[in-house]
Structure 1
Amino acid sequence: MRLTEFWTRMDSHLGPAYSRTWAETQALSELGGRTVDEALGDGESAKEVWRAVWAHLQLPPSER
């Protein structure tokens, strides 16, 4: 998954303005207590970070 697709999905589910704030501030246990921005900055793949977001937000299987 490319970062552009990742952010398109984030924007779709959280809204374009809120998705960036959420990514900066929401620590996810699925990411070891890191935020989305921290995980991506640490080199985690967009696909793995999306899976963590998907699980945290309890999105439907079709969105995985």
Structure 2
Amino acid sequence: MRVRNREFWDLVDDVFGRAYGRTLADDQVLTALGDRTAAQAVEAGVEPRVVWHALCDAMDVPDARRWGSDLFRQAPPAR
């Protein structure tokens, strides 16, 4: 399963809240993404699924919360 850019931003909003999530994606530098922010990595073409997992790992988001409030969303594995 592939996470598209729109889905990535929907997850950011759902899991972190729109204001905090957007600030986090713009400001939090992630070592796992080559010292880029999530927003920079997505813009640079990094697979959104990889960016999402890196952001969740950095913020210690538990697996049960990584996929937001959609109980039927399937979590693709990080690679």
Q: Name the TM-score, length of structure 1 as normaliser.
A: 0.84
Looking at structure 1, the residues matched to 52 and 28 of structure 2 have their Cα atoms a distance apart, in angstroms, of 14
> RMSD between aligned alpha carbons?
1.4
Q: Which has the larger radius of gyration?
A: 2
| 1:9 counterpart SS class | helix
1 or 2, which has the higher helix percentage?
1
1:21 is aligned to 2:23: yes
| 1:58 counterpart SS class | coil
Query: Offset at 1:57?
Result: 1.1
The count of aligned residue pairs is 64
Once the two structures are aligned, what percentage of the paired residues are identical?
36
The unaligned stretches of length 5 or more in structure 1 are none
The unaligned stretches of length 5 or more in structure 2 are 67-74
Matches within 5 A, 1:17-56: 17-56=19-58
